[in-house]
Amino acid sequence: MRSLLVVVTVVASVCGSVANAQFPFAQSASEKCPSSSNSSCTYDYYRNRMWPAPFTAADTNSVTAIFDQQRSNGWRLHNTLSTAMFDPRTNCLTEAGKAHVKWIVTNAPQSRRVVFVLQDSDQQLTSTRVESTQLAISEVLPVGPLPQIYLTDREPSGSSGVYQTAVHRAMANSVPAPRLTSSSGSGSGSGTP
């Protein structure tokens, strides 16, 4: 037990000397700066006295900044008009696409009223999609400033409503009829009487 106490005392004294070597400007509460005209000494003295309070806000912001980026990415995917929102023959917005544009323009928070259009490898196809989107926005907001339209290459996960309806109907049609076991009226069986 005594050897453990000696080891702890030696480690504590070594750590204290290392800490003083790393922070030569660290002063105790009773020490004063040698000259009051040395502003660096005064600054270091008060900063060391206040530690870690001045740095917690910067540390908190560095940890929570990722959530702001994730929130922006989520809104970007939500406000993206994907391939399923455009008619494959005419490249104009479908009714679902127009409804989505109307929701973005009227119901989204003011800072998130931005429309993203999924770009295609064909520039003519992309420009047709953008024109159709601008027309749908101007139908909803005929007067005033219009929201920005940006091109994006990230398609949100999902599929068209036609596909989802077909899958749902196929599942509903393929459900087998319920099969009940026939039970005899005599009460003889594995169940309790």
Distance CA 77, CA 75 (A): 5
Average pLDDT of every residue of the chain: 80
Which range (40-54, 65-79, 176-190) has the least confidence?
Answer: 176-190
Distance CA 14, CA 30 (A): 23
Reply yes or no on whether the pLDDT at 20 is more than 70. Answer: no
149 forms bridges with which residues in the sheet? 115
pTM: 0.58
For residue 44, count CB atoms less than 10 angstroms from its CB and return exposed for 0-12, middle for 13-18, buried for 19 or more: middle
Ordered by start, the domain boundaries in the chain are 71-155
Judge contact between 86 and 132, C-beta under 8 A. yes
- For residues 169, 156, 149, 90, the Cα torsion angle rounded to the nearest 10 degrees is -40
Average pLDDT over residues 67-79: 94
Tokens of 75: 């809104």
- Binned at pLDDT 50, 70 and 90, residue 11 comes out as very low
Distance CA 51, CA 43 (A): 12
Distance CA 109, CA 3 (A): 66
Q: Which amino acid is at 105?
A: V
C-alpha of 153 from chain center: 18
> What are 135-167's pLDDT values in tens digits?
999 999 988 888 999 999 998 887 777 888 999
